[in-house]
Structure 1
Amino acid sequence: MCGIVGACAQRDVAPVLVEGLRRLEYRGYDSAGLAVTGGEGGLFCRRVTGRVDDLAAALGETLPAGGTGVAHTRWATHGRPSDANAHPQIAGDELALVHNGIIENHAQLREQLEARGYAFQSETDTEVAASLIHERHARGAGLLEAVRGGLEALEGAYAFAVVSRREPERLIACRRGSPLVIGVGIGEHFVASDVAALLPVTRQFIFLEDGDIADVRRDRVTIYDLHGRVVERPVQVSELSPEAVERGGYRHFMLKEIHEQPAAVAETLEGRHTDAGVLDAALGPGAAGLLDAAQRLQIVACGTSYHAGLIARYWAEEYAGLPCEVEVASEFRYRSHAVAPGTLLLVISQSGETADVLAALREARRLGYAGVLAICNVPESSLVREADLTLLTRAGPEIGVASTKAFTTQLTALLLIVAAFARRRGRPQGEAELVRSAVALPGAIERVLDLEEPVARIAEQFVDRAHALFLGRGSHFPVALEGALKLKEISYIHAEGYPAGELKHGPLALVDSTMPVVAVAPHGALLEKLQSNLQEVRARGGQLFVFADDAAALRSADGFQVVPVPAAPAPISPIVHTLPLQLLAYHVAVLRGTDVDKPRNLAKSVTVE
């Protein structure tokens, strides 16, 4: 993994490929490269360790000529970041292949190919796939037939784009488990792992389904399904504009996306409720029957989406009386399950292509869950296509690797779902309170964003720290987890989130004058308990930074800095208190000089295990 771009056109495609890679930089990567056929050189390839700018510098002002090509930004899985391990991988000096995913049986295939005379230049599983296809191509098989034959030996998940100097006006694309789209032009066609890469050249897309192989030419695209039959996939028009994936006047995408949250949350809510309650139709046809039948909720997600699920569990059990469990997808898919009758699986993923979440959904089919409901931001994604019901967050493109508006819009969607369950379980007052709170959310977020300046000043006190502790209680404990995750993701400061009541069970041993402790302290039933926990920190010289709403009536003192957060209705308080923690992580990262939008070692969409 991480980003694929390809083109077959009547013009030189190198500029399109480089621009496409730039638009995929948000996904996270450590090397980049491209290969072009159809020019005088037959097959031109250039790869570099580093950024797309480094690739552009290596190419120079005169880009290679040729009307067919592939390009890639790689996030290392097999083999360290290096020029040799970057994509495209070349086989036989005539075939170039780019790849997202993991070939699980690459070691055995490598041994077999070496025994048949192949010498490998990289440590990658991708070169194994390229060599396997080339072996058939060199024996006379056309590019399509060579790819088909090679795929038969592969185990794992992949999206491939392949070109050959023998057939310079042809590109073969295929997917199994990793997303791939075809961009439709006039006299030209494109492929990419994300529509964002192709927005400058087309708004029309074909979304390949699992097992599809596409034979891409300038004037046509022929798609074959898993069984080798020619199939038609619909052409869809993207509503995204090229400007949607640009920074505008913001220094970083992350800051832009933090400030987009009031509008994004309003969009999530639009048309999905009335003053009386949630509209079931927002979840699609058949929603009422599936929700009526559900007796329990099992939420499965990864990372930030998992934290959203943890908050939703508090809502589900308090406002709807609905039993709810939450689990990390990578653990869910590999353990034995005892599924209670009437359990609805709720899966959450910003991209809709998270490998572990998709695997959990497919495992749920086998286990007999009552149905699958997905919360997702990408309508064309695998998750949306495979779920029974979907609630789209409508957050728009999120380019920064560290999720911000994805998190708040997921929580907004979860709030609506819990409200729908509250009505079904005889708690109309719960539905009414949740809907009133949701309506107030965009304005509440807008007010919290006014805290940016004081939060930026506090960030100065984190710059030279190596560790930080985040504390919360009740539904604000997952907020502490999310705040810690954001800080560690983009500033590289080690941070942990804990339930404040667990301090004496271990974390208190770490507290001293060098350890900043961040606490989320809304007014509520647990505030007095939390204050006692905070006194334990002060007594050991810890430096406290407390985000507390006005009603909490906390005041700053020596070693105890209070940031006043505008009061908000109880259900949406976890969402509101998330915003200042996002701003804190952002400003600490800026002061430390890290790559805020593309933190090291991380990818935006995790399409492999």
Structure 2
Amino acid sequence: MCGIFGIVFENDRPLGEILTGAAKRLSYRGYDSVGAAAIDSQGRIDLRKAPGKVEEVAEKLKFSELTGSRGICQLRWATFGAPSYENAQPHLDSDGDLVGAHNGNVVNNAELRRQFIAEGMTVRGTNDGESCVHAVERYVNRGLSLPEAVRAAYRDLAGDFAFVIGNNRENILVAVKKGSGLVVGVGPDFTCCSSDLPSVLPLTRRVIPMEDGEMVVLRPHSVELYRVEDGAPIAREPKEVGEDMGVPEKGGFPHFMLKEIHEQAAAARELYHLLEHSEHLPQIAQEVAKARRVFLVGSGSSYHACLIGSHFFSSLAGILAIPVLPQQFVEQFGPALGADDVAVYVSQSGETKDVLNALNYATAKGVKALGLVNVLGSTLTRKVERYLPLACGWEISVPATKTYTNQVIALIALAARSGGRDLGPLAAASSWLEKAVREMDGTARALAKQLAKVQKLFILGYGLGHGVALEGALKIKEVTGIPCEGMFSSEFKHGPLAMVEQGTPVLFTASPAGCHMLTNHVTEVTCRGGYAIVIAPEHENLRAEASLFIPLPVGSEVEYAVVGAVPFQLFAYHLAVTLGFDPDYPRNLSKTLTVD
């Protein structure tokens, strides 16, 4: 998810404490490396960076010694290039005259790097933040001023990002916004910019929010805003911000879980752009397409994403991809595994012990190892042959929300490419998620109040709805502690139906293709006095038979797969809050599971 901060003063002064403090206040965003740079009045650039935590890196590299009239710090969340000194930000240009850092993803990074190398630039790493700096260098070398070079570079950079850059000649910083967050702060003797408010508010409460397609030139006593497209100046006065520090960190939301549910649209957009330009996606798809057997291996929410993904390997590629839990993979399929098989390991953290155990076992038997993972530099990324990043940024709340959704999207994309199809239908994933969150939040809150006193719950899904039902049940169990069983809806009559009595709430869900079968399963519950709550696309028979019908705004199988879990995420969240639980930190659970 990354975080950037830049500040400009009139004269040289100690900057170490300011830059370190700003980095610490952005650390909630998640990161794997830290860097800071100061530029003094003599034009000397002092750059210090390394993988690690803010406190450790700042102490080891003596950030306290940084002095200058302007400075930049950055926390990097790896997407392009593993955590390393070369990939840590900020970055220098070829000659060390420019220094800059970015937040976001420049999805044509690989193509740009090849161009820069061909043009004779010194490319030190594989990070897209470095590509931002070289993109500006290209136009500075052609005689453009720094602001004009930034405007020109903006057009070469594809994706969603914000970056800030300075040179060793002028006492200015230039920053630009395209999709990623950027705010400007105006102080009594300085100006600054940052990815987010927490690093600005301790310094000043006078803030100018920036919009996409805008550039800012920061000078010690002035802020100049411009439209990138035509260079036209923008008049916008600073606003006084009154929030306390906790609110900006959560983006104005009361809990990280709710914030991350709302972030799913942005995360999906970033992932789609990455996949669209990915060099690895077609290579991984080729490996999958020629495999004898394909296994999708994951635990918890990742397994539920694999269940949904397997449908699309069948329907889009004609490939039988078997979703399997990692320990089950070893115990059930281990003896039959061989060199013609492929396993796609799916993990949020890349450190899940169950998954790594399965990977080690299968790799020893010759199984080709591929990955979908959110944390670059994790053990999983080092052990697989190729992987796709999930591009979610840091997910602080223990229950998976945006990582689960991006896993589903990535698996659908991989299935499509394996079948020789394009990613076109997924281009709308971001807008689907935005609409689903907006339209389902109030309903989920009302349902949570209605069911706040229940002692047990069931979620039944048909077809694609099976994975959604399991994920919804897991969310409820995680954040409320209420027993909630998720299962394939047709299996309910094979035993569990015995638990239904007068008023027992049973939730149902299905994709458009599964609604016709779900009707029978609903009536099995209602005729025995159960309370059937159906969350599904509009369907006349289902609406007629349900005790409560909640229309899910979807029109296709792919759209349902992407947004089907959203109402259950929101319901689980609101139910936890109604019951007085903190949904971010459920009891007995950890974000990363490193035990067997």
TM superposition score normalised by structure 2: 0.60
The corresponding residue for 2:515 is: 527
Measure the CA separation in 1 of the matches of 2:83 and 2:441.
42
Q: Does 2:489 align with 1:486?
A: no
SS at match of 2:512: coil
User: Which amino acid in 1 is paired with 2:517?
Assistant: K
The question of whether the paired residues in 1 share the 8 Å contact of 2:281 and 2:388 is answered with: yes
Which one of 407, 411, 414 corresponds to residue 408 of structure 2? 411
CA separation of 1:364 and 1:341: change in aligned 2, threshold 3 A: closer
CA separation of 1:593 and 1:553: change in aligned 2, threshold 3 A: same
The corresponding residue for 1:266 is: 269
Deviation of 1:181 (Å): 6.6
Measure the CA separation in 2 of the matches of 1:288 and 1:500.
32
CA separation of 1:204 and 1:519: change in aligned 2, threshold 3 A: closer
The corresponding residue for 2:592 is: 605
Which one of 591, 598, 604 corresponds to residue 578 of structure 2? 591
Q: Superposition pairs for residues 170-209 of structure 1, below 5 Å? A: 185=57, 188=60, 203=75
The question of whether the paired residues in 2 share the 8 Å contact of 1:295 and 1:322 is answered with: no
Q: Superposition pairs for residues 143-154 of structure 1, below 5 Å? A: none
Deviation of 1:508 (Å): 0.3
Q: Superposition pairs for residues 152-301 of structure 1, below 5 Å? A: 185=57, 188=60, 203=75, 243=196, 246-273=249-276, 281-283=279-281, 287=284, 290-301=287-298
User: Which amino acid in 1 is paired with 2:504?
Assistant: M
The question of whether the paired residues in 1 share the 8 Å contact of 2:504 and 2:531 is answered with: yes
Measure the CA separation in 2 of the matches of 1:548 and 1:489.
23
The corresponding residue for 1:569 is: 556
The corresponding residue for 2:452 is: 463
SS at match of 1:368: coil
The question of whether the paired residues in 1 share the 8 Å contact of 2:280 and 2:386 is answered with: no
Deviation of 1:576 (Å): 1.8
Q: Does 2:461 align with 1:472?
A: yes
Deviation of 1:530 (Å): 1.3
The corresponding residue for 1:537 is: 525
Superposed CA RMSD in Å reads 3.8
SS at match of 2:594: coil
Residues 428-465 of structure 1 show CA distances to partners (whole Å, capped at 9, x for unaligned) of xxx25xx3321222111111112211221111122111
Deviation of 1:548 (Å): 1.9
Matched residue pairs, number? 399
Q: Superposition pairs for residues 19-98 of structure 1, below 5 Å? A: none
Deviation of 1:340 (Å): 5.1
Deviation of 1:500 (Å): 1.0
User: Which amino acid in 2 is paired with 1:324?
Assistant: A
The question of whether the paired residues in 2 share the 8 Å contact of 1:456 and 1:584 is answered with: yes
CA separation of 1:462 and 1:21: change in aligned 2, threshold 3 A: farther
Deviation of 1:384 (Å): 1.3
The question of whether the paired residues in 1 share the 8 Å contact of 2:535 and 2:549 is answered with: yes
The corresponding residue for 1:373 is: 370
Which one of 342, 352, 355 corresponds to residue 353 of structure 2? 355
Measure the CA separation in 2 of the matches of 1:186 and 1:180.
10
Q: Does 2:347 align with 1:344?
A: no
Measure the CA separation in 1 of the matches of 2:318 and 2:498.
38
Deviation of 1:363 (Å): 1.5
Residues 361-381 of structure 1 show CA distances to partners (whole Å, capped at 9, x for unaligned) of 121210111x21111111221
The corresponding residue for 2:380 is: 383
The question of whether the paired residues in 1 share the 8 Å contact of 2:285 and 2:415 is answered with: no
The corresponding residue for 2:428 is: 440
The corresponding residue for 2:495 is: 506
User: Which amino acid in 2 is paired with 1:607?
Assistant: T
The question of whether the paired residues in 2 share the 8 Å contact of 1:480 and 1:520 is answered with: yes
Residues 511-558 of structure 1 show CA distances to partners (whole Å, capped at 9, x for unaligned) of 11342111003332x32321111101001111111112125564367x
SS at match of 2:337: coil
SS at match of 1:364: helix
User: Which amino acid in 1 is paired with 2:492?
Assistant: L
TM superposition score normalised by structure 1: 0.59
Gaps of 5+ in 1: 1-10, 26-178, 191-199, 210-233, 274-278, 424-430
Measure the CA separation in 2 of the matches of 1:398 and 1:510.
36
User: Which amino acid in 1 is paired with 2:267?
Assistant: A
Measure the CA separation in 2 of the matches of 1:324 and 1:288.
12
Percentage of pairs with the same residue: 33
User: Which amino acid in 2 is paired with 1:375?
Assistant: L
CA separation of 1:453 and 1:352: change in aligned 2, threshold 3 A: same
Gaps of 5+ in 2: 1-15, 31-50, 63-71, 85-124, 130-160, 162-179, 181-193, 198-247
The corresponding residue for 1:104 is: none
Measure the CA separation in 2 of the matches of 1:283 and 1:580.
30
SS at match of 2:399: coil
SS at match of 1:472: strand
CA separation of 1:188 and 1:545: change in aligned 2, threshold 3 A: same
The question of whether the paired residues in 1 share the 8 Å contact of 2:352 and 2:592 is answered with: yes
The question of whether the paired residues in 2 share the 8 Å contact of 1:280 and 1:420 is answered with: no
Measure the CA separation in 2 of the matches of 1:204 and 1:393.
15
The question of whether the paired residues in 1 share the 8 Å contact of 2:518 and 2:542 is answered with: no
User: Which amino acid in 2 is paired with 1:310?
Assistant: L
Residues 64-87 of structure 1 show CA distances to partners (whole Å, capped at 9, x for unaligned) of xxxxxxxxxxxxxxxxxxxxxxxx
User: Which amino acid in 2 is paired with 1:569?
Assistant: S
CA separation of 1:332 and 1:599: change in aligned 2, threshold 3 A: same
Deviation of 1:396 (Å): 1.2
CA separation of 1:334 and 1:459: change in aligned 2, threshold 3 A: same
SS at match of 1:555: helix
Residues 2-40 of structure 1 show CA distances to partners (whole Å, capped at 9, x for unaligned) of xxxxxxxxx99xx99xx7999599xxxxxxxxxxxxxxx
User: Which amino acid in 1 is paired with 2:264?
Assistant: Q
The question of whether the paired residues in 2 share the 8 Å contact of 1:280 and 1:287 is answered with: no
Residues 40-77 of structure 1 show CA distances to partners (whole Å, capped at 9, x for unaligned) of xxxxxxxxxxxxxxxxxxxxxxxxxxxxxxxxxxxxxx
Deviation of 1:237 (Å): 10
The question of whether the paired residues in 2 share the 8 Å contact of 1:297 and 1:323 is answered with: yes
CA separation of 1:189 and 1:528: change in aligned 2, threshold 3 A: same
The corresponding residue for 2:322 is: 325
SS at match of 1:505: coil
The question of whether the paired residues in 1 share the 8 Å contact of 2:464 and 2:511 is answered with: no
Measure the CA separation in 2 of the matches of 1:205 and 1:587.
30
User: Which amino acid in 2 is paired with 1:312?
Assistant: G
CA separation of 1:289 and 1:521: change in aligned 2, threshold 3 A: closer
Measure the CA separation in 2 of the matches of 1:404 and 1:23.
17
Deviation of 1:575 (Å): 2.2
Higher relative contact order (CA 8 A, sep 6+): 1
Measure the CA separation in 2 of the matches of 1:316 and 1:246.
39
User: Which amino acid in 1 is paired with 2:328?
Assistant: E
User: Which amino acid in 1 is paired with 2:462?
Assistant: R
Measure the CA separation in 1 of the matches of 2:326 and 2:574.
31
CA separation of 1:523 and 1:203: change in aligned 2, threshold 3 A: closer
CA separation of 1:295 and 1:421: change in aligned 2, threshold 3 A: farther
